[in-house]
Amino acid sequence: MTLPLADILAILPELIVVAAACLVLGLDPITPAPRKQWLAWLSVASLLLCFGLTSLQLDERVMAFSDLVIIDPYACFWKLLLYAVTVLTILMSLAYLKEEKIHLAEYYGFLLLALSGMMIMVSAADLLTIYLGTELMSLSLYVLAGFKRAEGRSLEAAAKYFVLGAFSSGILLYGISLLYGLAGSTRLSAIAMSVATRRLDDPALLLAMILLVVGFGFKIAVVPFHMWTPDVYEGSPTSVTAFMAVASKAASFGAFMRVFLEGLGGLKANWHVLLLVVCVATLVLGNVVAIVQTNIKRMLAYSSIAHAGYALIGMVVAGQAGAEGAVRSLGLASVMLYLAVYAFMTLGAFTVVAMLRKGGLEGDEIEDFTGLSKRQPVAAFLMLVFMVSLAGIPPTAGFIGKFYLFMAAVQAGLAWLAVVALLFAAVSAYYYLRVVMVMYMREPQASARLEPRLAASPVTAVVLACAVAGVILLGLYPGPLVALTNQAVLALK
Amino acid sequence: MAILFFFYFAGVIVLTSILVVTLRNPIYSVLSLLIMFFHVAGLYVTLEAEFLAAVQIIVYAGAILVLYLFVVMLLNVKREERYHSQFPLAALLGITILTEVLMLAFLRGFSSEAPAVAPAVGDSAQPGEAIAGTGNTETIGEALYSTYLFPFEVASLILLVAMIGAIVLAKKKVGEGEA
């Protein structure tokens, strides 16, 4: 059997990422300790190479490996986003891991392997391949969550994430197996054809659809499948939390939307209702429970749940049966836009959190931010920008993201949903601005025995500069990104 | 007939699965799991997937379950007393099985040119159709290395992650030789 060169070329970015991961893992034992960070730079270099390659593929539409893999603008959009997120995560990790004394080269290897899983998820045209990509991503993340092995919370996070993740994978797989039984194939195109010829109230089909919603719902952390999120986000090393909150959510959304719009597009009247309920529940619970959190990582965990709820609005619009094609495409494009914007602001916020130290530990209580504006005006201002953007206040990118989502909802005749989301965006302003209030309005307590300090480094400054530039520039001038998302949407049937 | 077998296997699978989670004694749980694995293998045979059935028995019942048993027994040292009363019975059964295995091995050894052709596959799962397994195995191999090459390689990456991940999480010294 020979491999066509075209197939290899199509998955060249994936191959490079995997090769870089293996290289990092292999070079680790023979690299002297002071030079370990060269491995991080190696990872970054490989990702920049992939970024260039994927940009070249942006206009193509190729199927490879007997139609199991698809390279289309949609997949390339997610890949570009994922590269950017991974590069920023690696850069922010350098200083953080040294502070935590867990600077191991395996960390970068696992980040790259998780990334390769995500890339497979977003560019697979086959349920089995998507499932394997999901597993590759999840397994790497389980290990990364438990990387701070000296700390009980981190191990607890890894164990919880592993058990619940394995359970949800089982549910996902059950849904996939039912669909395979009905369609006789795991390819999305074959499933779409089979769904088209079938009665839509077929109980097995509906059950399969519901199981898939549950499985993906767990990965993107929407209510009621969100229970793991706060504990895992709180316990994991902060850089890993940022990666999970941004990259794994983006990749899961990418795969989720492809499966439901391309594979189960014929069932949209059914899953539309289901997602509507999930979406509203997520908006309500995520935003309300975030108010009472005192730990900033837990608060950001609930905030990430709420943001998944906002993004779901776009997917609900894309599944609106009565709406015009253009409106549904707008819904899909606005999800992509929103997650890109969300990536920058969340990464920025987590980078500030990771920098804040109290003694030898992380300062991850909201109280630790008290009076930060007096001691570290720049960091406090950056955090202010990220919080304002997360709350969705202009002129930041968070506002643009929400604006496009709400506009799509209104155009699809779901004005009430936009109103509900707007109300809860107002609720969210309360807990985001509370952090700002603590930083700017309260005096630092002189009596505090362990004064929180910032562990800043030039590389971290670069990450923060990128994040804040993303938040402000996309807020003022979103045109290019909007054009890119419009170019990259899936063709809706 | 096929339906009858299906419901027998499915029924036992459900029953033993419930037993796995409800039984209080971990050893009994693991043994119920063993019975379940065997019946899943039976289900594969009714689907004419003899290769899968054999793999199910060799990998799950043979390798993974033994590992489970080791772990359970290592973790519950104190409970060992409970099984001592069964020692004579266990010894008797053990010796019987050992004798049978030895006899079979020797008889096979004397009478054979055949075993190279007949794969272990058909033997363990369905004595009647020893040869039927061959085509089955070939088909799976061909599908894995042509149509499903990509997912197959992804699966190998997953195993790599699992392996290194276990080592990273279980290694004693944290961040030795820190930068």
Q: Which long-range contacts (CB under 8 A, 24 or more apart) does A263-267 make?
A: A263/A127, A263/A179, A263/A188, A263/A191, A263/A192, A263/A195, A264/A191, A264/A192, A264/A195, A264/A209, A264/A212, A265/A192, A265/A195, A265/A492, A265/A493, A266/A192, A266/A195, A266/A196, A266/A200, A267/A195, A267/A200, A267/A205, A267/A206, A267/A209
Strand, helix or coil at A124?
A: strand
| First CA to last CA distance, chain A | 36
Backbone angles phi, psi at A359, to 5 degrees: 60, -130
Task: Kindly provide the ipTM of the predicted complex, given to two decimals.
Answer: 0.90
CATH number at residue B11: 1.20.120.1200
Give the pair of three-digit tokens for residue A57.
Answer: 């593929």
Distance, in Å, from the CA atom of A79 to the CA atom of A11, rounded to the nearest integer, reads: 12
Chain B hits for A1, Cβ within 8 Å: 145-146
Chain B hits for A237, Cβ within 8 Å: none
pLDDT tens digits for range A403-461: 999 999 999 999 999 999 999 999 999 999 999 999 998 877 665 556 667 777 889 99
Q: Is B160 on the interface with A (CB under 8 A)?
A: yes
- Closest listed residue to residue A70, CA positions, set A263, A248, A217: A263
CA-atom Rg of chain B in angstroms: 21
- Flag if A116 and B157 touch (Cβ within 8 Å): yes
- Flag if A140 and B145 touch (Cβ within 8 Å): no
In a domain, B4, yes or no: yes
Confidence of residue B173 (pLDDT cuts 50, 70, 90): low
Instruction: Verify that B151 and B106 share a domain, yes or no.
Output: no
Q: Is A120 on the interface with B (CB under 8 A)?
A: yes
Strand, helix or coil at A358?
A: strand
Give residues with Cβ within 8 angstroms of A95, minimum separation 6: A355, A455, A456, A457, A459, A460
Residue located via tokens 């029953």: B15
Chain B hits for A143, Cβ within 8 Å: 161, 164-165, 168-169
Q: Is B170 on the interface with A (CB under 8 A)?
A: no
Looking at the DSSP bridge assignments, the partners of residue A325 are none
Query: How many Cα atoms occupy the beta-carbon half-sphere of A430 within 13 Å?
Result: 11
| First CA to last CA distance, chain B | 68
Q: Is B161 on the interface with A (CB under 8 A)?
A: yes
Within 10 A of A409 (CB to CB), how many other CB atoms are there? Answer: 27
Residue B119: pLDDT over 50: no
Chain B hits for A139, Cβ within 8 Å: 158, 161-162, 165
Q: List all residues of chain A from 444 to 483 with a beta carbon under 8 Å from chain B.
A: none
Give me the pLDDT at residue A198, please.
85
Instruction: Verify that B80 and B109 share a domain, yes or no.
Output: yes
Task: Identify the domain containing residue B144 by its residue range.
Answer: 136-179
Confidence of residue B83 (pLDDT cuts 50, 70, 90): low
Give me the pLDDT at residue B17, please.
94
Chain A hits for B160, Cβ within 8 Å: 113
Distance, in Å, from the CA atom of B146 to the CA atom of A238, rounded to the nearest integer, reads: 42
Strand, helix or coil at A176?
A: helix
Residue located via tokens 């994978």: A169
In a domain, B75, yes or no: yes
Distance, in Å, from the CA atom of A469 to the CA atom of A446, rounded to the nearest integer, reads: 34
In a domain, B8, yes or no: yes
Q: Is B64 on the interface with A (CB under 8 A)?
A: no
Q: How far is A76 from chain B (nearest CA, A)?
A: 18
Compare CB distances from A69 to B150, B158, B174 and report the shortest one's residue: B150
Chain A hits for B168, Cβ within 8 Å: 104, 106, 110, 143, 147
Distance, in Å, from the CA atom of A268 to the CA atom of A260, rounded to the nearest integer, reads: 8
Chain A hits for B162, Cβ within 8 Å: 139
Give me the pLDDT at residue B121, please.
42
In a domain, B101, yes or no: yes
Integer angstrom CA distances of residue A49 from A10, A56, A99, A119, A273: 15, 11, 29, 15, 42
Distance, in Å, from the CA atom of A285 to the CA atom of A283, rounded to the nearest integer, reads: 6
In a domain, B22, yes or no: yes
Give me the pLDDT at residue A199, please.
80
Confidence of residue B77 (pLDDT cuts 50, 70, 90): low
Residue located via tokens 């402000």: A472
Q: List all residues of chain A from 2 to 61 with a beta carbon under 8 Å from chain B.
A: 3, 11, 18, 25, 33-37
pLDDT tens digits for range B136-150: 888 888 888 888 999
Compare CB distances from A135 to B158, B169, B178 and report the shortest one's residue: B158
Q: Is B147 on the interface with A (CB under 8 A)?
A: yes
Chain A residue nearest residue B175, CA to CA: A102
- Closest listed residue to residue A101, CA positions, set B72, B174, B109, B112: B174
Q: How far is B111 from chain A (nearest CA, A)?
A: 39
Q: Is B175 on the interface with A (CB under 8 A)?
A: yes
Best residue in A106, A148, A177, A185 to probe B by mutation, most B CBs within 10 Å? A106
Compare CB distances from B164 to A33, A37, A106 and report the shortest one's residue: A106
Instruction: Verify that B99 and B166 share a domain, yes or no.
Output: no
Instruction: Verify that B109 and B62 share a domain, yes or no.
Output: yes
Does a cis peptide bond (omega within 30 degrees of 0) precede residue A444? no
Query: How many Cα atoms occupy the beta-carbon half-sphere of A76 within 13 Å?
Result: 23
Residue B120: pLDDT over 60: no
Instruction: Verify that B163 and B97 share a domain, yes or no.
Output: no
Residues written for chain A: 493
H or E segment to which residue A453 belongs? strand A452-454
Compare CB distances from A113 to B145, B161, B169 and report the shortest one's residue: B161
Could you say which DSSP state residue A365 is in? B
Residue B79: pLDDT over 60: no
Number of domains in chain B: 2
Looking at the DSSP bridge assignments, the partners of residue A357 are A362, A453
- Flag if B179 and A135 touch (Cβ within 8 Å): no
Distance, in Å, from the CA atom of A400 to the CA atom of A384, rounded to the nearest integer, reads: 17
In a domain, B16, yes or no: yes
Chain A hits for B175, Cβ within 8 Å: 101-104
Residues written for chain B: 179
Asked which of B90, B118, B146 is the last residue of a domain, the reply is B118
Q: How far is A48 from chain B (nearest CA, A)?
A: 22
Give the pair of three-digit tokens for residue B125.
Answer: 């799962």
Instruction: For strands A452-454 and A356-358, give the pairing.
Output: antiparallel
Enter the pTM of the model: 0.89
Give the pair of three-digit tokens for residue B178.
Answer: 């820190």
Q: Which long-range contacts (CB under 8 A, 24 or more apart) does B127-136 make?
A: B129/B50, B132/B48, B132/B50, B133/B50, B133/B51, B133/B54, B136/B48, B136/B49, B136/B50, B136/B51
Integer angstrom CA distances of residue A316 from A208, A270, A408, B18: 19, 11, 10, 38
Q: Are A343 and A81 in contact (CB under 8 A)?
A: yes
Q: Are A129 and A11 in contact (CB under 8 A)?
A: no
Average pLDDT, chain B: 79
Domain segments of chain A: what residues? Answer: 8-490
Q: What is the mean pLDDT of each run of 10 residues along chain A (493 residues)?
A: 80 95 92 87 95 91 90 95 96 89 89 96 95 96 91 92 95 95 92 88 90 95 92 94 96 96 90 94 95 93 96 93 87 95 95 84 83 86 94 92 94 94 94 92 68 79 93 92 92 76
Strand, helix or coil at A206?
A: helix
Instruction: Verify that B83 and B141 share a domain, yes or no.
Output: no
